[in-house]
Amino acid sequence: MTRSAVGTHHLETVMGMVVSIDIRDDDPTSSAVPDVVSWLHHVDRTFTTYDDRSPISAVGRGVLPPEQMTDEIREVLDLCEDMRAETGGAFDPFDVPAPNGTRFDPSGLVKGWAVERAAAMLEDRGCGSFMINAGGDIALRGTPEPGVPWRVGIRHPRRPDALATVIEASGRLAIATSARYERGDHIVDPRTGAVPDTLVSATVVGPDLTVADSFATAAFVMGLDGLAWVSGHAGYDAYLITSDDLTVWSDGFGEYKTSGVAVDGA
């Protein structure tokens, strides 16, 4: 046996996706995974825009008085406003078509926020080495094994079974990617209504997944300008794949990016 396989691994279908919780600590607190799973379902119920009865749908319709908003809803609203302002409107959850028929859809931000909170919950319960992957948005801590970094692939834009690159990281890192693949365009420039077509994917790495997630969406909308924009924020870096298959990344991303040497037989 060359690799130890300690820890806990859990898959949870929630928020319309599969969340992978991979804990590498020898003996994680028994409540760690159940607590995180419970949290994610709570977030789903509160913030789903697929259910007209959810609190966030009421916010979108403008029928939830501020005094009835929970701290969580206020926090998400504040974060949405912060990210909208920071991105100059390139990320604007207040002006997008939502499944519930309103123009408010914080789902993208909520996903990153919920996972970042989940990571904090695991840390509070004594976990120091784990990766949470929520539909491709990742928060990681520590290392999978002593002295070994986490390795995360960035999906190839046209080949679901292949990777465009691999990054290595240990400690604390968030990784978020906004992309349009063969299934169609999901991202609209809130400032113009246009569908950005310069990039096929924008990956942002940094300390916080809430920020990384919002920045990835903004960078996708900004196109190549997103590169300098993202890397202008301390601790955040970007990796962009253009529609004509150029890959472009900031110097800081290069610190994480592995070269081809890590690939077998290459």
Partner 1 sequence: MTFGLTAAMASSDLQSPIIAASAPPTPSTPSVQVVPLRPSSGGSETQTNHVTPITPSSPSTQATTPTTQVTPTTQAAPAGPTTIDGQVIYNPFGAVQVEATFGADGSITDVKVLQAPNSNRLSVRINNYAVPVLNQEALSAQSAHINGVSGATYTSYGYERSLQSAIDSARAEAVTTLA
CB atoms within 10 A of CB 234: 8
Closest by CA to 224, choosing from 205, 204, 209, 240, is: 240
How many angstroms separate the CA atoms of 19 and 24, rounded? 16
| Residue whose entry in the numeric block shows the structure tokens 């992978």 | 20
136-165 residues near partner 1, rule: CB under 8 A: 136-138, 140, 144, 150-157, 160-165
- Interaction of residue 194 with partner 1, rule CB under 8 A: no
Q: How many residues bind partner 1 (CB under 8 A)?
A: 73
Buried b / exposed e over 107-137, threshold 16 CB at 10 Å, is bbbbbbbbbbbbbebbeebebebbbbbbebb
Query: What's the angle, vertex CA 14, arms to CA 13 and CA 16, rounded to 5?
Result: 95
9-38 residues near partner 1, rule: CB under 8 A: 9, 11, 13, 16-18, 20, 22
Residues 36, 59, 131, 187: which binds partner 1 (CB under 8 A)?
Answer: 131
- Interaction of residue 251 with partner 1, rule CB under 8 A: yes
C-beta separation of 164 from 156 below 8 A: yes
- Interaction of residue 247 with partner 1, rule CB under 8 A: yes
Residues 177, 210, 214, 217: which binds partner 1 (CB under 8 A)?
Answer: 177
Task: Pick the closer one to partner 1 by CB: 194 or 262.
Answer: 262
Window contacting partner 1 (CB under 8 A); options: 29-37, 62-70, 99-107, 246-254? 246-254
- Interaction of residue 166 with partner 1, rule CB under 8 A: yes
